Structure formats: C-alpha cells, structure tokens
Chains A and B, each alone.
Chain A
C-alpha cells in the first residue's frame, strides 16, 4: 500500500511568491494533519481535517497560510507572499479514524526554501 504522498519534495521560491504544497493521504483514512518542522521550533502543528472538514487551524499563521481539503484524496497547503522564515519541511500525516489517538502516518515532507 502506498503511504502518504507529498509533492513537491523540494521547492525553492523567491520571497513574495506563492507556494502550494500537496498531500495525498492513505486511502480510507479520514483525518489529515499538517505539521511544520524546523531545527529551531521542531515539529509544530498547523491544522487538521476530519472527513474533509476543517477542525482545528490553531497552528496556522493567520495571514498568508491557508489549507484546504476539496476531496478525500488530497489536501493542499498554500502560502502566499512567502517569507524566508517560512523555510521549513512541511509534513502531512493521515490517520485511519477521525481521532488522533490512532497512529499518524507521515509523508516524507515537502522542503520549502524561500530565498
């Protein structure tokens, strides 16, 4: 079975440009999570969806960041007007049930570099 698929694996973008990151969760999983990973901050929760509905976006920077899940097979994280401090590995994870006590299966991440 395929795991969580994230694209692109690497993205370099100029300051002020937009970046869109894609995530395909494991088929049949009903919860999708986004985390951001940096050396300084470690793994930070951004947002999650349950059965495609946004449940908690408390970790999302209020400006410039948005996430969507238009169907059960993919979710996107969009960053507008990217800044150097947005440089990080963005990790997507899915779980079988809409309950975080279940195992989270992470993708390999999308490394975003803003120059």
Chain B
C-alpha cells in the first residue's frame, strides 16, 4: 500500500542555518505530495503542495520538489528562524482511498 517515510525524527539547527528534511514515498498512483507543519498546541496546517514531479512548491521561504526516479520529496529552507520550530510532516495523497497518509514527522528545534 501507499506509504511515506521520514527517517529524521529530530533536527536541531541554529538560526540562519540551512534546513533539509528528507522524505521518501511509495505509491502506485501519480503522487500528490504535501508538507504540513504543526506548531505546539495546534493542529497541523498546510505548508505547501506539489502535484507535478520536478515542479517546485514554495511557501513562507520553504521549498519542496519531488523526484519520481528516487521517490523522494525534500523540504528545504535557506535560513531558518526560531519561529520555524515545529514538527514537519511529509504527506501523500492516496487517490484510491481519498485520504492523506502522514509520515512520522520531523521535529525541528532552532537554537537562538
């Protein structure tokens, strides 16, 4: 079945560092992929969405593209700020079942 894997459970960076979060996916359909972000005490919210391979999704300084060859979908940001501290979820749309499949999440902590 469809699945999403985030191997990085936690990432700790300093302000202005470069962020790169890795995600791989598995699906038999054309993938639609998302990054959702969850701040403490809140529900997840959409950060960005990518529906076409090699197209870049951009939002709030974050970028993501997916590569069909390697079935990878990475999130990156050039310069992180303390306000970016949150949990980031890689998410795959399962078209067949009409629901979202969430990865395990990557907790980003930014040292001031």
Chain A positions within 8 Å of B, measured between CB atoms, are 4, 33, 35, 42-43, 45, 48, 50, 55-56, 58, 91, 93, 98-101, 103-109
Contact = CB atoms under 8 A, between A and B. Distances in A.
A102 B101 CA distance: 14
Interface string B37-64: 0000111111001010000000000000
Nearest to B42: A108
Contacts of B27: none
A38 to B, nearest CB: 11
A56 B97 contact: yes
Interface residues of B, number: 23
Contacts of B103: 42
B46 A104 contact: yes
Given A43-B89, A100-B93, A106 B99 contact: no
Contacts of A50: 98
Contact of B93 (A55, A58, A101, A108): A101
A107 B102 CA distance: 16
B43 A42 contact: no
Contacts of A43: 44, 89, 102, 105
B100 interface: yes
A70 to B, nearest CB: 22
A48 B97 CA distance: 10
A100 B43 contact: no
A48 B43 contact: no
Interface in B85-108: 89, 93-95, 97-105
B35 to A, nearest CB: 12
Contacts of B99: 33, 45, 48, 56, 100
Nearest to A48: B99
A106 B45 contact: yes
Nearest to B97: A56
B97 A4 contact: no
Contacts of B42: 106, 108
Counting chain B CB atoms within 10 Å of each CB, which of A45, A55, A104, A108 scores highest?
Answer: A104
